[in-house]
Amino acid sequence: MLKALDIWLPAYLRQPRNSQPATGERHLLLCICDHFEPFHHVGKKEALERVEAWREEFPKLTEPFHDSDGANPKQTFFYPIEQYDPDVLEGISALCKASGCETEIHLHHHHDNAKNMLRTLALGKENLARHHLLSRDKQGRTRYGFIHGNWALDNSHPLGLHCGVRNELQVLKETGCYADFTLPSAPKRTQTKIINSLYYAAATPHPKSHDRGTPVEAGKKPSGDLLLVQGPLGLNWNKRKFGFLPGIENGDLTGINPPTLDRLRIWMDLHIHVQGRPDWFFVKLHTHGGIPPNSTMFLGEKMQKFHRDLARAAAENNRFHFHYVTARELVNILHAAEDGHSGDPGQYRDYRYRSLIPRETENGLL
């Protein structure tokens, strides 16, 4: 069916609208997950030029803007580990050190199996950690966030394409994945019936095990094998087709569909949150920022306007606070909410996992 509406629209229609808390403090956690593929349709020379453009421009463009904690805008680059190149990764590492951005794992694979995927992820972790990317837990183990290439997490493509590993959630868990950030995937038919949720899914021998799961809830222990962090999915009545059909809002940021306050209102109205902590709004967006014209948007005026508008909205409402967070920081804050913490979520950015990126101080690097 068009746009896979038969999969996700029933859940959308059942979801309460205007579920934002009417009074009290509201905290927006804004996370941009970038399927960062600088080699897309180009060779190494062009890939290095794309990374260099980000390294040169992104820190300068974001320096004037600050969230409610004083942090600059940041993104998380999910790099395809099957395209490992030390020179490209060194450029991305330099970008992260200079900007507060972070890097996690992206993977495209086809007709794969669990044994080979275990080896691929182990090597990918080793390669990225060599460039001071990824993170560690309190026990010193390397951990990572994950986005599946072609949206086909857990062999969820109807024809079995772009994966092949039916017990993929278990493989991710065994290799240190702290959360998956693939969804939403609509209009692809890899989309799940669960939408606009933070939840745990249990691995099964069947495809798309994550089609069902247990919501993350404050004061409740996790139940499942893997945490899934979904972005917004719904209808956008402000952007109509043929003058009357609503558009699909799936949190994708592109050159022709940049972030705006109108879209932000939809993302917040969908109200992705930890149950029992409704004042913390988890807005996880996605893009392919390594390729033009998307990179042009992120490194230009459209993105700067969004940052200005967001700062103005917060200045006009002293009960509204916003926090630029990486994928790792988002999950740390999620676990803090799960453990019953409240108040300012910005204090929990390093709650469980710490970045491997050296932090700059007045006396040098930590």
Q: What is the pLDDT of residue 237?
A: 86
Is 365 part of any domain?
A: no
Distance (Å, rounded) from C-alpha 264 to C-alpha 258?
11
Q: CATH number of the domain that 95 lies in?
A: 3.20.20
- Nearest one of 129, 147, 170 to 31, comparing CA atoms: 147
Q: What is the pLDDT of residue 362?
A: 37
Residues of the chain with pLDDT under 70: 1-2, 17-23, 242-243, 359-366
Q: What is the pLDDT of residue 260?
A: 98
Is 366 part of any domain?
A: no
Is 288 part of any domain?
A: yes
Is 298 part of any domain?
A: yes
Is 249 part of any domain?
A: yes
Is 364 part of any domain?
A: no
Is 362 part of any domain?
A: no
Tally of structural domains, the chain: 1
Q: What is the pLDDT of residue 245?
A: 82
Q: What is the pLDDT of residue 239?
A: 81
Is 228 part of any domain?
A: yes
Q: What is the pLDDT of residue 176?
A: 98
Q: What is the pLDDT of residue 1?
A: 44
The domain of 320 spans: 2-14+25-350
